[in-house]
Amino acid sequence: MARSISDIQSFQPVARTLMGPGPSDIYPAVLQALSRPTVGHLDPLFIAMMDEVKQLLQYAFQTENPFTLAISAPGSAGMEACFVNLVEPGEKVIVCRNGVFGDRMRENVERCGATAVMVDDAWGAPVSPEKVKQALKDHPDASTLAFVHAETSTGACSDAQTLARLAREHGCLTIVDAVTSLGGVPLKVDEWQLDAVYSGSQKCLSCVPGLSPVTFSSRAVAKMQARTHKVQSWFLDQAWCLVIGAGKVNAAITIPRRSIACMPCMSLYCGFIKKGLKTHGNVIKTCINTSKRGWMNSGSRLWLSRLIGCRSLMQSLFPMVWTMRPCASIYSIPITSKLVLD
Ligand SMILES: Cc1ncc(COP(=O)(O)O)c(C=O)c1O
């Protein structure tokens, strides 16, 4: 029964241990940063800080792309931003689907008025470079190859470097979902020549939810600049950033200052900058391995072998089942590395 609004108290969540990549536990110092005073999003102090955030994200993505920023919305908005800015109506996009998030890519392609050519692999298997190679050969008119680096719904990790190389050999751009890989496993945007990559602040970066780090290569920027159709989403149209410069404040929207401001704090305190990305990835790996051990000690099994399982994700035997409920009852901790489908 609905309560009267006067009975509603300030939200007091219980302290949980979040071992999976997203949402993950937040460093106490980062939580403190959230309570610092508000400054306007056009305040010079804030604008200077945005440049620092851009620099930190470039480090996380291992890129020098000038067009690297945090979109003011969760990972799904980063996904949509990449598709709506890079895919035009009538184009053909090769989409790799080996779990839930590959299918979301298909949805995005179709909503852009383009055709999605699906390359399907079994749930739990990584994307097959052989199948991708064949699809690129069969569809020489494809403009883009889209794939998920770490498919969270199953825990499978695909070979982003090889897939990107195949795309380049066929003149295609790449759109890469790195929501649960950025900060958790090696992701080398420049070395692997990835074109549009998006992630989520709440996953392996251990920041607060609600931001989507994205980076666009110069090839991706050239494609955006050559568009013949207006981007159908006003909010996610990156043309603004192309005009004012990524990392600069878009005066047209009110940026969630607190969330963005805790990013520099997060990266300093979790050792991300001081100790390096590799060490940060190892912390994530330790958390996941602890979860995996707990899971197996309870008599359950892991679904994927260590060879194809992403080390930033837990691959329980029930990829389609909400693991939070059984885990919460066994260990009193939620392990939220899987998706609800039941
Ligand atoms: C691989 C992948 N892509 C996209 C998303 C969507 O991100 P968000 O929930 O931040 O919108 C998720 C979320 O779990 C994900 O794991």
- pLDDT tens, residue by residue, 124-158: 899 999 999 999 999 999 999 999 999 988 888 99
Candidate ranges 5-9, 13-17, 267-271, 320-324; pick with highest mean pLDDT = 5-9
Q: 242: buried, middle or exposed (CB in 10 Å: 19+, 13-18, 0-12)?
A: middle
281 within ligand 1 shell (Cβ under 6 A): no
Q: In this model, does residue 306 exceed pLDDT 70?
A: no
Give the chain's domain count. 2
**What integer pLDDT is reported at residue 81 of this predicted model?**
96
Q: Tokens 């190389």: give the residue.
A: 165
Contacts of 234 (CB under 8 A, 6+ apart): none
Q: Do the beta carbons of residue 49 and residue 178 sit within 8 Å? A: no
Q: How far is CA 57 from the centre of its chain?
A: 12
- Residue 202 counted as domain residue: yes
Are residues 204 and 305 located together in one domain of the fold? Answer: no
- Residue among 96, 97, 180, 336 whose CB has most ligand 1 atoms within 8 A, to mutate: 180
Residue 175 sits in the same domain as residue 227: yes
Same domain, 57 and 175: yes
Gap between the Cα atoms of 322 and 205, Å rounded: 23
**Within a domain: 255:** yes
Q: 123 is in which domain, residue-wise?
A: 30-263
With respect to residue 339, please indicate whether it lies within any of the assigned structural domains: no
Please give the residue that has the higher pLDDT: either 225 or 183: 225
Q: How far, in Å, is the centroid of ligand 1 from the Cα of 23?
A: 10
3-class secondary structure, 96: strand
- Tell whether ligand 1 has an atom less than 6 A from the beta carbon of residue 198: no
DSSP 38: P
Q: Are 87 and 109 in contact (CB under 8 A)?
A: yes
Q: Which of 203, 207, 240 is nearest to 81 (CA)?
A: 240
Report how far ligand 1's centroid is from the alpha carbon of 200 (Å). Answer: 7
Arithmetic mean of pLDDT, 31-48: 83
> What does the pLDDT read at residue 202?
84
Q: Is residue 336 one of the residues assigned to a domain?
A: no
CA of 142 to the centre of ligand 1 (A): 25
Q: How many separate helices (H) and strands (E) can be counted in the chain?
A: 11, 9
pLDDT of residue 21: 67
Tell me, yes or no, whether 192 and 297 share the same domain. Answer: no
Average pLDDT over residues 230-238: 92
Q: How far is the CA of 3 from the centre of ligand 1 (A)?
A: 33
Residues 268-286 have a mean pLDDT of: 66
Residues 287 and 246 in one domain: no
182 and 71 within one domain: yes
- With a 6 Å cutoff on the Cβ, whether 181 touches ligand 1 is no
Distance 76 CA to ligand 1 centre (A): 6
Query: 69 or 278: which carries more pLDDT confidence?
Result: 69
Question: Which residue's alpha carbon is nearest to atom 7 within ligand 1?
Answer: 75
Residue 96: inside a domain: yes
Examine residue 324 and state whether it is found in any structural domain, yes or no.
yes
Question: Cβ contacts of residue 130 below 8 Å, gap of 6+?
Answer: none
Q: Which has the higher per-residue pLDDT, 199 or 244?
A: 199
| 217 and 303 fall within a common domain | no
Q: If you count them, how many residues does the chain have?
A: 342
Pocket of ligand 1 contains residue 76 by CB under 6 Å? yes
CA–CA distances in Å: residue 68 to residues 57, 71, 156, 197, 242: 7, 10, 26, 10, 11
Token digits for 119? Answer: 């390359």
pLDDT band with cut points at 50, 70 and 90 for residue 339: very low
Can you give the pLDDT at residue 332?
Answer: 35
120 and 49 in a common domain: yes
**Conformation bin of residue 333: beta by default, left when phi > 0, alpha when psi is -120 to 50:** beta
Question: Which of 163-172, 237-246, 251-260 has the largest mean confidence?
Answer: 163-172
**Tokens 């991708």 identify what position?**
132
101 lies in the same domain as 49: yes
pLDDT band at 247 (very low <50, low <70, confident <90, very high): confident
Q: Band the pLDDT of 266: cuts 50, 70, 90.
A: low
Between 340 and 181, residue with greater pLDDT: 181
146 ligand 1 Cβ < 6 A: no
Single pTM value for the model: 0.87
pLDDT(2) > 70: no
Sort residue 201 into left (φ over 0), alpha (ψ -120 to 50) or beta. alpha
CATH number at residue 131: 3.40.640.10
pLDDT tens, position by position, 308-317: 677 777 666 5
With a 6 Å cutoff on the Cβ, whether 300 touches ligand 1 is no
Look at 71 and 292; give whichever has higher pLDDT: 71
- For the chain, give the mean pLDDT: 82
Q: Contact at 8 Å (CB) between 265 and 33?
A: yes
**Which residue's CA lies nearest to atom 8 of ligand 1?**
75
